[in-house]
Amino acid sequence: MSCFTFIKLMMLFFNLLVFLGGVTLLAAGIWVSVDGNSFLHLLGPFSNQALQFVNVGFFCIAIGAVLVLLGLLGCSGAQKESKCLLLAFFSIVLIIFLAEVAAAVVALAYSSLAEGILRAWATPALQTQYSSDPVVTKIWNTTMTELKCCGFSNYTDFEGSKFEKQNGGNLPPSCCWTDIGPCSPAEAARQPVQGCFEHILEMVKDHANIVGGIAAGIGLLEIAAMVVSMYLYCHLDSRAS
């Protein structure tokens, strides 16, 4: 077996796995979007409150569609020995890889910018949509309960909010650790309850090695896919001659 044939077979096998993974994600996404309750029932004890309000269906559909497209391009390009399809496959993987690198650079070098972007969304949502928008309210309630935090920065994010005005100047119970009486701003100021952003940062730092390892593994797979596709692309002319 020649080197070209071996790499071609590996390209077919790898992209077949990508295609099957995409089809699985696509099917799961459609299932969640159409009948989310039965999906959560199937998960049983592994389901959590997050799955009840985060629309994972559309996310799975989007990722699955991209994987199906990549798998089809890779398999078709290798099987038909089409330079056009191989180049399209290489270009899409390259775009994804560059986007991931850019996101990593922004996350590492401009963490304050990322915090500012999140704050620009979170603070107005807490001020005007918390308690009135069911989705926003459930997201924040679950986040604050699970992480034992209050607001984005701290309890002051709720001062002057619609929730505070509707509840006689009181804040959500998560802003106070005591269950005795309502959670007033004065009581929240005495409680050492951090903002949720600080807890999220701590979680990311605690799992940085795992996240970094997964990201590095995905990056290596993408580089390998680009190298293999470009190898096949460059050697098609020599095979034709």
* Domains present along the chain, CATH in parentheses: 3-109+215-240 (no CATH), 130-201 (1.10.1450)
Distance from C-alpha of 171 to C-alpha of 141, rounded to nearest angstrom: 12
- pTM score over 0.85: no
| 3-class secondary-structure state, position 140 | helix
> In terms of pLDDT, which residue wins out, 68 or 209?
68
pLDDT over 80 (residue 35)? no
Phi first, then psi: give them for residue 133, nearest 5 degrees.
-95, 115
DSSP-derived secondary structure for 79-103: HHT-HHHHHHHHHHHHHHHHHHHHH
Q: Which of the two residues, 31 and 170, has the higher pLDDT score?
A: 170
State the distance between the two ends of the chain, measured CA to CA, in whole angstroms. 19
C-alpha of 21 from chain center: 17
**Residues 6 or more apart whose Cβ sits within 8 Å of residue 34:** 57
- 193 three-class SS: coil
User: Three-class SS of residue 171?
Assistant: strand
Mean pLDDT to the nearest integer, 92-104: 84
What is the pLDDT at residue 82?
A: 84
Query: Is a pLDDT exceeding 50 seen at residue 52?
Result: no
Q: Note whether 22 and 66 are within 8 A (CB).
A: yes
Q: Give the pLDDT band (50/70/90) at residue 59.
A: confident
**What's residue 179's pLDDT?**
63
pLDDT of residue 239: 61
Q: Which residue has the higher pLDDT, 167 or 40?
A: 167
Average pLDDT of span 78-92: 86
Nearest to 173 by CA among 150, 195, 147, 198: 150
pLDDT in tens, 106-144: 766 666 666 677 777 788 888 888 888 888 888 888 888
Number of C-alpha atoms within 13 angstroms, CB side, residue 135? 4
